[in-house]
Amino acid sequence: MKRFLFGGLTALVGASLVVMSIGILMMKMGLVPINADVAPSSLERKVLPLAVRASVARHSSEQPGGAEPPTDDDLVAGAEIYREMCAQCHGHLNGRASVLGASFYPPAPQLPGRGSSYTDAEVFWIVKHGIRNTSMPTWRNMLSDENIRQVAAFIKRMDSLPAAVEVKAKQEAKEQ
């Protein structure tokens, strides 16, 4: 029985090494398409979001986003930051989708009308650090932690804003 288990384990490890070697060889030969105008493989569509979600969850626990409930002033400031820095890729507050964001791979999520399934701390981490190979830049050199907290709070609540904040956000959206 031990020999059988050892043989099975050896075969599994050997097969894994062969598959990994083939994958590495394909990458070194340039056989894995990286151009953004070609649909990604089903493996890439499944693996990349899984890796992003797991990494964001792990690293965001160290971030201050969401420590205190946002005030209306925080949400108004977050709406202004969103309008100036985020809307061109993630969709405008007036409901107009972003043509630019749709051209990325993966496409930038259109947030108005959908919001985000990430927590406040996760949105804070994503805005601050960006996500490699997705066109989501890091904003840590352009926005303060306070600004990032405000825009993260706005993104999480953009579809259920207090009335005063919604009026102000829609007023600014008309100006776009």
Domains in the chain, number: 2
Task: Determine if the peptide bond prior to 33 is cis (ω within 30°).
Answer: no
CB 172 within 8 A of CB 112: no
Q: Output the tens digit of pLDDT for each of the chain's 176 residues.
A: 778 788 888 988 999 999 889 888 887 888 777 776 777 788 888 888 888 889 999 988 876 655 688 999 999 999 999 999 999 999 998 888 999 999 988 899 999 988 889 999 999 999 999 998 888 999 999 999 999 999 999 999 998 899 888 887 777 666 65
Query: For residues 79 and 125, what is the distance between their CA atoms, to the nearest angstrom?
Result: 18
Instruction: Dig out the tokens for 8 from the structure.
Output: 């099975």
Task: Identify the CA nearest to 75 among candidates 174, 170, 175, 169.
Answer: 169
Look up residue 71 and give its DSSP letter: P
Indicate whether 42 belongs to any domain.
no
Judge contact between 43 and 26, C-beta under 8 A: no
Q: Is residue 105 part of a domain?
A: yes
21 to 17, 24, 27, 28, 137: CA distances (angstroms): 6, 5, 10, 10, 32
Kindly state whether residues 62 and 113 are assigned to the same domain: yes
The pLDDT value recorded for residue 50 is 87
Cβ atoms of 176 and 83 within 8 Å: the answer is yes
Q: Hey, how many other C-beta atoms are within 10 angstroms of the C-beta on 36?
A: 11
User: Which pLDDT belongs to residue 173?
Assistant: 62
Q: Which CATH number does the domain housing residue 75 bear?
A: 1.10.760.10
Q: Contact 121/90 with Cβ under 8 angstroms?
A: no
Q: Which of 123, 131, 125 is nearest to 155 (CA)?
A: 123
Q: Is residue 111 part of a domain?
A: yes
Look at residue 18 and tell me if it is in a domain. Answer: yes
Q: Locate 161 and state its tokens.
A: 């804003």
Q: Which amino acid is at 14?
A: G
**103 shares a domain with 24:** no
Structural domain for 53, as ranges: 48-174
Q: 122: helix, coil or strand?
A: helix
Same domain, 108 and 144: yes
59 and 90 share one domain: yes
